A and B are shown apart, each in its own frame.
Chain A
């Protein structure tokens, strides 16, 4: 049995929408062959609405999709608020696509991330 030690990459990459009253962010945290995606929202004013984060991975002939969505309630100016997390196995061949969309009151913000390889993360 060959054990592949985990190495904490310590990479925290962010893909953020432009600074608005309402802003979103997809955080990436890699560890070994896993990546954790976090959907994060910030706002400088109270807001209520909903969010959706979709993540797809394609590795060779395998593919996976995860979609997480639900309410966003910001009672006062605050951020960042963690909305959802998903963990995915990635390899050098994995193509990962993520999109976070937040709609609150009359505002809408969206963040996207596309990786052709793990090197992009």
Chain B
């Protein structure tokens, strides 16, 4: 069902075909664009950013159109026959938020939508089963959102606008997809997918001093992280349990993290098992950013893109 298209990056490169491209310009309408294969892309137009992983389709995007109208927004969506989508346009008058879950043709499944406006909110959703959907929107500061799902083909999306927000997406099973988007400063995004293969996770953050940590265990997983701004940190770990990870949920809470801040990974041997066929892409636009990708196993591919635009 899912096709890991990030792997086409290197294959196309070897064949000499154009696999990646950039555009650039000067002034308020600066635009940079990176496209790695068909599946990982990043678009930056002033304060907008998006990350997308196709195939089973998990995407996260956010945008600030302050140049044309006073709107900030963030959205995250996940879909594969079924769609979980969260969208928020910012805090203040004229708040618009929309959370959408559309079940597919497969029958009746569990669905959850949560919408919170204000500060210091906490949202927790736990689902066990298959083809479940969960979408959470939080507008404000110091909010925390957790979605924890187990088993097969679950989808989760979290969208946050504000500062010092925390996102945790925890999926235990196979063929799961998750997306997180955040607009603001000092936000954290944590994604953990364990228990099997074919998982997808996309994370996008626009602002400064944000951090994103993604752990995936299993084969044929795909992760894409995009950060736009300064002082951001990104860490993607696929198949390696040795570089810090903590977690639980449903619901022993406990999240975790690992690396960046100096980001040094070293060693002469990294596990003996590892994982196969994973793809990871980290894209950072701005200054003073740190990125680390760790993959163990064989047939894994990593893309690191940094641009001090």
Interface residues of A (CB under 8 A from B): 1-4, 6, 8, 10, 29, 31-34, 36, 38, 50, 52, 54-55, 57, 59-71, 83-89, 101, 103
Other-chain residue from A32, A66, A71, A103 in contact with B20 (beta carbon distance below 8 A): A32
A69: B residues at CB distance < 8 A: 240, 267, 269-271, 274, 295-296
- Residue pairs across A and B with CB atoms within 8 Å: the count is 167
Q: Mark B245-289, 1 if CB is under 8 A from A, else 0.
A: 000000000000000000111111111111000000010101111
Which of A29, A52, A69, A88 has its CB near the most chain B CB atoms (within 10 A)? A69
**In the complex, B96 has a CB within 8 A of chain A:** no
Which residue from chain A places its CB closest to the CB of B237 in the assembled complex?
A67
In the complex the two chains form, is A65's CB within 8 Å of B264's CB?
yes
Which residue from chain A places its CB closest to the CB of B243 in the assembled complex?
A67
**In the complex, B292 has a CB within 8 A of chain A:** yes
Taken together as a complex, chains A and B put the C-alpha atoms of A69 and B299 apart, in Å, by 10
Interface residues of B (CB under 8 A from A): 9-10, 13-14, 16, 18-25, 31, 34, 36, 239-240, 263-274, 282, 284, 286-308
With A50-B272, A87-B36, A103-B269 in contact, is A68–B304 under 8 Å at CB? no
A84: B residues at CB distance < 8 A: 295, 298-302
Taken together as a complex, chains A and B put the C-alpha atoms of A87 and B282 apart, in Å, by 10
Other-chain residue from A2, A36, A66, A70 in contact with B10 (beta carbon distance below 8 A): A36
A29-B14, A62-B287 are known; give 18 further A-B pairs, CB within 8 A. Answer: A32-B20, A59-B308, A61-B308, A63-B289, A63-B290, A65-B263, A65-B265, A66-B293, A67-B266, A68-B302, A69-B269, A70-B239, A70-B298, A71-B272, A84-B298, A87-B303, A89-B306, A89-B307
> Can you report 25 residue pairs joining A to B where beta carbons are below 8 Å apart?
A1-B31, A6-B20, A8-B16, A31-B16, A32-B22, A33-B22, A34-B19, A34-B20, A50-B270, A55-B304, A62-B284, A63-B306, A66-B304, A67-B265, A67-B267, A67-B293, A68-B294, A68-B295, A68-B300, A70-B300, A87-B9, A87-B20, A87-B302, A87-B303, A88-B303
B267: A residues at CB distance < 8 A: 52, 67, 69
A54: B residues at CB distance < 8 A: 265-266
